[in-house]
Amino acid sequence: MSDSLSKLEKRTAYTLVLPAVLLVFAIVLFPIFANVWISFKDIELKDIRIPEPRAKKIVKSISENQSELKIIYKLRNSSLIQEIRNVQFQDKFPTNVSPINLDPRCNFQSKKVVCNFGNWQAKFRENFEITIQNNNGEIIDKKIIKSQKPILSGKADNPLLTTNFTLENFKKVFYENNFVELLLTTFYFTFFGTVGAIIFGILAAQLVNQNMQGRTYMRGILLFPYVGPVVALAYTWTLLLDPNSGTLNALLVNFNIIEQPINLLGQKYITMSILGFEFKLRLALTTVIFFEIWRYFPLVFLFVLARLQAIPQSLYEAAEVDGASPIQKFIHITLPQITAIISILFMIRFIWNFNKFEDIFLLTGGASGTRTLPINVYQQGFAVSDIGMGSAVSIVIVMLLLSFMVIYFRLIGKRANEV
Amino acid sequence: MKFKSLAIFLIISSFFLTCILSIWKIMATLQGLSFNNLNITTIFLIGILLSLAFVLIGNKINHLIKIFLLSFIFSILYFYSNEASPYWYIFGVFLISLFFTNKLKKYSMQSLKEDFISEKVIFDFITFFGIVFFAFVILFPFYIMLVTSFKTQIALLVNPLDFSLDITKSLTELFKSYFVIFETYNFGRYILISSAVSIGTVIVTLLFAIPAAYAVARLNFFGKNFLSTSILIIYMFPAIVLVIPLYTVFSQLGLRNSIFGLLIVYTATTLPVAIYMLQGYFKSIPKEIEDAGIMDGQNWFGIILKIIIPLSLPAIASVALYVFMIAWNEFLFSLMFLDSPKSFTLSRAIQYLSGDAETPRQYLMAGSVIVTLPVLFIFIYFEKYLVSGLTAGSVKE
């Protein structure tokens, strides 16, 4: 009895879970595997259409006598690289009309011309002609002939499904793509974006936690950048930072803080001198990192605040009695309580920053030294139209991500054992 | 020792006052006042005098009289040391110094002798300054977005710092950018498409997620643990690596430029979060209630429909709002899949607008306001639900 019940339970569980699992599999997991496949193929954006035979029909009169017409079919293979096999052609004609001197590849049966054109190579083109005449010598209406569209069919390989593979894409990714700089930029962006968001998040949480009144309002306001749409926020920042008439530059120039407007998003390097040491700062990248911090510190803030509120007040009171200073309280009470959540947030933010596309794309489009791996996927796949190469970069991203996860779980696992 | 803490107190408090007054000055400059100097040193010095006077006077006169008197003197000093400024600006300075001196209330020559007083002073002022600073940094771009949408291109080019609103203008004049983007750029249509996609995503996601979450929370089946861990791992995976395969497949299936295609992708990407949030809540519902349902001869479908859903309406609402916000804000897939203006979502439409360098910025900002407002309203109104849903462990962007 209970056995059949558990069987029923299992069956119900699978029916309930299956739709969601299938959908996620088709849209999320399948593409990850498909990337592996595509990354080994030499394929461009224009090739992803399945090749098809096409025909353009032109009707011409050949003599004064309107009972004869010449029809030219401009035949072609839509693909520049794939052949089409076994092309079949078919066109219908009105009653009493029949072709003369029909091409040997074709035959005429019950008002239809049916042709077998065999295989068409890539880029194949041919002007195929049929002359028709009315059996009774009457005028043939051109419009009727024109309005009838020929039907073509043929077998072609889906260029995505062919089995010719190449390592060319990966070679290009590693050797012709400034790979080291790409990787470094990605890591700068990811690392400083993450660390900045965490520092500002802790700071904000600490501040809001101290202030009892207005805590919920502040919490709401601080989350605005996180919940707002990227597009709106990124364009607002672009406008603020614009060198020609942006508010920030105008303010700085107005108050004589700088002499010339600075193109914060369009300049790759800026030379700074601090204490006599001159060094070059990646300006556009730094600006983008600041946007990133601005947009995502609220998340850290929210989680840390939730954790801070859960710390028992008695701990602080005891420290007060022991004569601890505010800094000592922070280091010895607050910090140990939030390390766990910080390490999780670090991991989450690190991975998401590593994958960040929209923010950089909208602010700089990947120009002036802000090209990261995700931006490169887009540039290769859609700007250069090299789908295979874009997929290869995606694979690099997935591999790096997996290794982060492994390293992270190793570290966390070790620490869990120590505790 | 006493001198050191007094000095620290004076410097920190005056620094705080200077920062707030600078923010006030910047805001006033953006109203079209022509200030060319932040006057930081002067304000800092008068600020030190103000704080010093405050602690020296101590309790000799009533606090209220004291702060009014000091703020009044401070405002007069400020007025003479600053560039020509209108009275409303000086009144603002007066209010700020009133607020500031009130903040100083707990400090006196006596209290400056306490242990760790310099650390406490620093912490106290940094806390307050930090909040003002964060609020300013967060809200400033939103403020610029809103006011730019009410200006005209020419006015902004003539003086990029003048964001003052001319209230004498008629409403149609003021909201001109909004009329233009609705009439010439078809924003009404984009709002409809964005709403349809977002609401559709919410409905489909809930239809798929509620049964799945119930199964994960309550039923025993092979692969359950695997499923619940893979849910978490899947939503760590980036959208950018899905883009190329989905693009090629959608092109071949003719799903690009279709709202349906977008809906499928949004649903699939929000499903893991939705399932994760819902199963957490379902687990908290006492099992006895369901047992009662089973006794009544309900099947699983009936239990979900008649017991689980009514009991977890708050959680479902928060998941729904959350999914709505994700779908509404989504940009990457709409950029990839939509290239005909007929099927643009709001985000994609704004990006398309900005691609034309000729587009006046106030139109861009009016569009940005339109796409931002609904999300902010939802967020402010339902903040409690959303925040508790977020901190429950689901942090999808």
pLDDT by residue for chain B (397 residues), tens digit each? 577 888 888 888 888 888 888 888 888 888 877 777 777 888 888 888 888 888 888 777 887 888 888 888 888 888 887 777 788 888 888 898 888 888 887 777 777 777 777 777 888 888 888 888 888 999 999 999 998 888 888 887 777 787 777 777 777 778 888 888 888 888 889 999 999 999 999 999 999 999 999 888 888 888 888 887 787 777 777 888 888 889 888 888 888 888 888 999 999 988 988 888 888 888 888 888 877 777 777 777 788 888 888 888 888 888 898 899 999 999 999 998 888 888 899 999 999 988 877 788 888 899 999 999 999 988 888 887 777 766 654 444 4
Q: Is residue A34 part of a domain?
A: no
A83 and A144 both lie in a single domain: yes
Q: Is residue A127 part of a domain?
A: yes
Q: Report residue A287 as tokens.
A: 């600006």
Residues of B in contact with A36 (CB under 8 A): none
Q: Is residue B159 part of a domain?
A: no
A122 and A188 both lie in a single domain: no
Residue to test with chain A: of B12, B114, B218, B244, most A Cβ within 10 A? B244
Q: Report residue B250 as tokens.
A: 């959608």
A151 and A176 both lie in a single domain: no
| Residues B216, B220: Cα–Cα separation, whole Å | 8
Asked if the Cβ–Cβ distance from B268 to A32 is below 8 Å, we say no
Closest chain B C-alpha to A279 CA, distance in angstroms: 28
Q: Is residue B222 part of a domain?
A: yes
Chain A neighbours among B 194-213 (CB < 8 Å)? 208-209, 211-212
A291 and A214 both lie in a single domain: yes
Q: Find the CATH number of the domain harbouring A56.
A: 2.60.40.290
One-letter amino acid for residue A184 of the chain: L
B303 and B252 both lie in a single domain: yes
Q: Is residue A9 part of a domain?
A: no
State which residues form the domain around A316: 171-418
| Residues B209, B308: Cα–Cα separation, whole Å | 13
Asked if the Cβ–Cβ distance from A401 to B331 is below 8 Å, we say no
B198 and B332 both lie in a single domain: yes
B235 and B384 both lie in a single domain: yes
Chain A neighbours among B 131-160 (CB < 8 Å)? 131, 134-135, 137-142, 144-145, 148, 156-157, 160
Per-residue pLDDT reduced to its tens digit, B298-332: 777 788 888 888 888 888 888 898 899 999 999 99
State which residues form the domain around B75: 2-148
B63 and B193 both lie in a single domain: no
B187 and B143 both lie in a single domain: no
Alpha helix (H) residue ranges in chain B: 2-29, 40-57, 63-81, 87-103, 117-148, 153-158, 171-174, 176-183, 187-218, 224-234, 240-253, 259-283, 287-295, 300-303, 309-311, 313-329, 332-337, 346-355, 361-381, 383-391
β-bridge pairing A151-156 and A125-134: unpaired
Q: Find the CATH number of the domain harbouring A196.
A: 1.10.3720.10
Q: Find the CATH number of the domain harbouring B290.
A: 1.10.3720.10
B129 and B245 both lie in a single domain: no
A243 and A358 both lie in a single domain: yes
Residues of B in contact with A391 (CB under 8 A): 244-245
A&B contacts, CB < 8 Å: 285
Q: Is residue A194 part of a domain?
A: yes
B61 and B191 both lie in a single domain: no
Last residue of a domain, one of B103, B129, B148: B148
A147 and A180 both lie in a single domain: no
**CA dihedral for B251, B254, B259, B260, sign (positive or negative):** negative
Last residue of a domain, one of A156, A179, A210: A156
Q: Is residue A225 part of a domain?
A: yes
Q: Is residue B386 part of a domain?
A: yes
Number of domains in chain B: 2
Q: Least CA distance to A209: which residue of chain B?
A: B127
Q: Is residue B288 part of a domain?
A: yes
A132 and A65 both lie in a single domain: yes
B273 and B359 both lie in a single domain: yes
Last residue of a domain, one of A125, A156, A187: A156
B39 and B119 both lie in a single domain: yes
B141 and B193 both lie in a single domain: no
- Contacts from A242-248 at CB under 8 Å and sequence distance 24+? A245/B156, A245/B157, A245/B160, A246/B160, A247/B30, A247/B144, A247/B160, A247/B161
B126 and B41 both lie in a single domain: yes
Q: Is residue B280 part of a domain?
A: yes
Q: Is residue A142 part of a domain?
A: yes
Q: Is residue A405 part of a domain?
A: yes
Q: Is residue B160 part of a domain?
A: no
Number of domains in chain A: 2
- Residues B204, B263: contact at Cβ < 8 Å? yes
Per-residue pLDDT reduced to its tens digit, B133-169: 888 999 999 999 998 888 888 887 777 787 777 777 7
Residues of B in contact with A233 (CB under 8 A): 141, 368, 372
pTM: 0.86
